Amino acid sequence: MAVAMKRRSPDSSASRRQFFRDGLRFIMLGGLVAVGAKIAARPGGQVCISAGICRGCEAFDDCGLPQALSAREVIGRATPEPKKRI
């Protein structure tokens, strides 16, 4: 038993509405993916609070930023173990 499919004419307003609705849906999906990629690409969430001057910084011992890691290596301090995120 064959079931006839309902076809819409290509110039009907319903298909235009559907086209724009689907287009908007894909644009929103693309924006969501872009925002997710931007958030995932961020470094570990650390921000330098000392304008790049590591020696006098209060967070120097726990800092994981590349500049602080280099400074610790130069002055001979051991690198701290990474903290566990809760």
Specify the number of domains making up the chain: 2
- Residue 4 falls within a domain, yes or no? no
pLDDT in tens, the chain (86 residues): 455 556 655 555 668 889 999 999 999 999 999 999 888 877 666 778 777 778 778 888 878 888 888 888 888 755 556 666 66
Q: Token pair of 55, please?
A: 């020696």
Burial degree of 43 (CB within 10 A; 0-12, 13-18, 19+): exposed
- Residue 86 falls within a domain, yes or no? no
54 and 66 inside one domain: yes
The overall pTM is greater than 0.85: no
Residues near 80 by beta carbon (within 8 Å), at least 6 away in sequence = 61, 62
State residue 25's pLDDT score: 96
Which structural domain range is residue 24 located in? Answer: 14-43
